[in-house]
Amino acid sequence: MAIEVNVTSTLRTLVGAKSVQGDGATVGALLADLEAKFPGFKDQISGDDGELHRFVNVYVNDEDIRFLEALDTPLSADDVVSILPALAGGSR
């Protein structure tokens, strides 16, 4: 089942678009599929332990997966996943 995945500019350089399609029954499986399609993808959002970096927010239909089932959050074909690494910066 194809899931729409929206990414911010930091990940767009890796995937080549604002939105890509991935497959997976859970968020974790979806991220594994994106890693297979775009090598280095998971390195951008997770640590060596496979857990998401604390500054990376993942939403399924605007719901933060931290308040759902985290990487085990189930997905269906009409879901939209958004991956938003936090950005820092600005001027003094």
Number of domains observed in the structure of the chain? 1
Take residue 67 and report the two structure tokens written for it: 């308040």
Q: Is there a domain that residue 13 lies in?
A: yes
Q: What is the pLDDT of residues 38-51, one digit of tens each?
A: 999 999 999 888 88
Q: Is there a domain that residue 90 lies in?
A: no
User: What pTM value is reported for the model?
Assistant: 0.90
**Selection from 24, 18, 28, 21 nearest residue 4 by Cα:** 21
Q: Is there a domain that residue 25 lies in?
A: yes
Give the CATH number for residue 12. 3.10.20.30
Boundaries of domain holding 59: 2-85
Distance CA 80, CA 67 (A): 16
Range with the poorest average pLDDT among 2-6, 31-35, 42-46? 42-46
Is residue 2 within 8 A of residue 81, CB to CB? The reply is no
User: Residues 6 or more apart from 35 whose CB is under 8 A from it?
Assistant: 41, 42
**Is it the case that residue 3 has pLDDT exceeding 60?**
yes
Q: Is there a domain that residue 56 lies in?
A: yes
pLDDT value at residue 85:
83
